[in-house]
């Protein structure tokens, strides 16, 4: 889920693996974004969607979910907090919300939850529409265990953005 979502959202993937690691079962490794030292709203939203893509893929392809995505969910939560509290990307609180820290109330939590749900739904739609790509890559990873980003792009025939 991570690798396919990443590529479809215009992010590079260094490699993907199904090998178990200390932080979970497999996953994708992403290249650093050297384009800019500043994060844009769109890029941050896409990074959050990619973080959620592993859990969403579990929901779409399996009868049950695992705790394997817990680190990804934790990272998504940190990025959502930054989206609202640090960068002022939230339309509700905007820049005032960054300056006036009293926005860490229930209203802020509700907005963060709504943003999380919105991005989960967006990545769910993306992966549902591209279900065959996710399934195909998963099958190939079962055979190879690890693939480089360029191998994945070539295998899936996805244009790099």
Q: What is the DSSP string of the chain?
A: -HHHHHHHTT--EEEEEEEEETTEEEEEEE----S-SS--HHHHHHHHHHHHHHHHHHHHHSSS--GGGHHHHHHHHHHHHIIIIIS---TTTHHHHHH-GGG-SHHHHHHHHHHHHHHHHHHHHHHHHTHHHHHHHHHHHHHHSEEEHHHHHHHHT----
> Global pTM?
0.85
pLDDT tens for each residue of 112-160: 999 999 999 999 999 999 999 999 999 999 999 999 999 999 999 986 5
Predicted confidence (pLDDT) at residue 32 exceeds the cutoff of 60: no
- Give the C-alpha separation, 88 to 20, whole Å: 37
């Amino acid at each position: 889920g991570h690798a396919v979502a990443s590529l479809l959202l215009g992010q590079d993937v260094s490699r993907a693996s199904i090998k178990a690691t200390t932080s979970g079962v497999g996953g994708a490794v992403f290249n650093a974004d050297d384009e800019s030292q500043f994060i844009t709203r769109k890029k941050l939203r896409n990074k959050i969607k990619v973080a959620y893509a592993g859990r969403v893929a579990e929901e779409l392809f399996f009868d049950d979910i695992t705790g394997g995505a817990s680190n990804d969910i934790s990272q998504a939560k940190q990025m959502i907090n930054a989206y609202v509290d640090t960068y002022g990307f939230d339309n509700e609180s905007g820049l005032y919300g960054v300056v006036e820290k009293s926005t860490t109330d229930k209203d802020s939590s509700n907005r963060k939850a709504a943003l999380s749900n919105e991005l989960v739904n967006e990545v769910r739609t993306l992966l549902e529409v591209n279900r065959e790509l996710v399934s195909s890559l998963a099958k190939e990873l079962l055979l190879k265990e690890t693939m480089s980003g360029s191998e994945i792009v070539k295998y899936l025939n996805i244009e790099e953005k």
